[in-house]
Amino acid sequence: MIQTRLYSVMLGCAALFFAQGLLQQATAADAPDYLAPPAKFADPARLERLAAAFPAVDELMQQFTTREHVPGAAWGIVVDGRLAHVGVTGVRDVASSAPVQPYSVFRIASMTKSFTALAILRLRDQGKLSLDDRVDRYIPQLRKLRYPTTDSPRLTIRHLLTHSAGFPEDNPWGDQQLAISEAQFDRLLEQGIAMSNAPGVAYEYSNYGFALLGRIVSVVSGVPYARYVEQQVLRPLGMRNTTLEPEAVPKMQLAQGYRYEDGLWKLEPQLADGAFGAMGGMLTSIEDLGRYVGLYLQAWPARDGADTMPLSRASLREMQQTGRERRATVGRTAQGEPELNAGGYGYGLRVSQSCRFAHVVAHSGGLPGFGSQMRWLPEYGVGLIAFGNRTYTGWGKPFDDALELLAATGALQPRVVEPAPALVRARRGVSALLERWDDGQARELAAMNLFLDRSLERRRAEFLRLREELGACREQPGYVSIENALRGEWRYDCERGAVLATVTLAPTRPALIQHLELRTLAATSAPATAACR
């Protein structure tokens, strides 16, 4: 009897597995041809190779802090969402000569703004507010706000998030408002806010605007801003050494802030948490900030799977996109070459691109006694973080140089985009046509516009001419470039030259070729071709 029952169970399991197999096959067959695996890093040893530069980065940072008279500093390198390396130097307290430790807590000033933006988006995702809500819906005092022109749009949450509210830049003034009480904030609001622009027309950095966002978080959530951030962001991320109140930090962890003046380090008093805390009051350790920056890096690339972060991956990526552009600037690379920098502000984060990196996310923080920065490259999965306890410690140049050191390892490479099955099929079809043209096969590959833009006869003549001029062509592995799952370029090496094929697929199902270009490349010697590759 036991054997019979066991046999029945085995038959049932076999039937179940067979059915699951059929279901998986059907699902694979029914999967849209435009779906591709998420981009991934090609080098499985990238972390080990990047780590070869960590000692040089440490030396660079130590030289910087000595040269700039920074009493103490901590820095970290984040790779693939995890803090891969920590460096420290100097003292957190000049009077006691207490050294900086990885768990030492520094004030990070305006880097707080991304925490505030994250809180706003969390409330947005819960349906409790909209980014296009008028601010005076939540802050009644602003219903009396005098706008600079009669045609000015009413102030929205989105304006505040992107520094396009029309308020004047207020760094010197804003720093000194950090500790004011909610009652004092109310009196400021009653007096009105000076405006330098109509809302929505220009970028201008505003601490006041982020203080307003902190008030909105409190009003919508029903709890004080600091408590909301602690409960909904810091605790879920395990950021146990992060707070808005200096008094809450154990004395043996707290970094004191200094200004360097007359050849001396002079103590700057710690500002208490107050109504402007949402714009710049956060204190944290390098270990905790590594977790926080890791949160943003882990949002890339877009993919399937569980989404258990304090904010969805989609909203985290939204924060890292330009919401308000800034004027482009020209600077110099670490090698002294001119470089264009363009971009703007996302939600609580600066977003830029340079000739070297197409997507850079960053924010700095400066208050009397402190200077900090976080910067990361979403496509490369790598970020840098640093604190110093000297007023406005400027980490920009050391970060530029650190990225050059990491790049010199050869392992600072972006994720490789994976082609969709439709692009693979199109590539296979183009290769077949280049080998032997077939009108029917060409029609099967083409979207409805392809032969309207250039006739089938002309396309056929082009393929035949290339074959005659260049001889037999051999498709090269990989892609010369692949912008996304449905657009790519690849190369053919031929007997008398080379060809670059460029294909873009149409937004149809199936995804067919809407753009096809074949370009001949100048013939090169084998060594030169290898060098170019």
**pLDDT band for position 309 (cuts 50, 70, 90):** confident
Q: Please state the rounded mean pLDDT for residues 292-305.
A: 96
Per-residue pLDDT tens over the stretch 68-93? 999 999 999 999 999 999 999 999 99
The pLDDT of residue 523: 55
The pLDDT of residue 334: 61
Mean pLDDT of the chain: 91
The pLDDT of residue 372: 98
Residue range(s) occupied by CATH 3.10.450 in the chain: 421-532
**pLDDT band for position 31 (cuts 50, 70, 90):** confident
Q: CA quadruple 476, 477, 481, 485: dihedral positive or negative?
A: positive
The pLDDT of residue 14: 40
Indicate whether 66 pLDDT > 50.
yes
Indicate whether 22 pLDDT > 80.
no
Task: Name the amino acid, one letter, at 187.
Answer: R
The pLDDT of residue 15: 41
The pLDDT of residue 8: 39
Angle between helices 207-221 and 112-125 (to 10 degrees): 40
- CATH 3.40.710.10 fits domain 116-225: yes
The pLDDT of residue 522: 72
In this structure, are residues 105 and 408 in contact, taking their beta carbons and an 8 Å threshold? no
In the chain, how long is the greatest CA-to-CA distance? 95
The distance of Cα 81 from the centroid of its chain, to the nearest Å, equals: 12
Indicate whether 213 pLDDT > 50.
yes
Percent composition of the chain: helix, strand, coil (DSSP 3-state, to 5):
40, 25, 40
Of 100-109, 181-190, 351-360, least confident by mean pLDDT is: 351-360
Per-residue pLDDT tens over the stretch 167-182? 999 998 998 999 999 9
**Cα–Cα distances in angstroms (integers) from residue 138 to residues 174, 222, 237, in the given order:** 22, 12, 28
User: What is the CB-side half-sphere exposure of residue 439 using CA atoms within 13 A?
Assistant: 5
Indicate whether 24 pLDDT > 50.
no
User: For residues 27-50, b (16+ Cβ closer than 10 Å) or e, as one string?
Assistant: eeeeeebbebeebeeeeeebbeeb
**pLDDT band for position 329 (cuts 50, 70, 90):** confident
- CATH 3.40.50 fits domain 421-532: no
Closest to 70 in 3D by CA, of 88, 52, 44: 88
Residue range(s) occupied by CATH 3.40.710.10 in the chain: 116-225
The pLDDT of residue 21: 44
The pLDDT of residue 29: 54
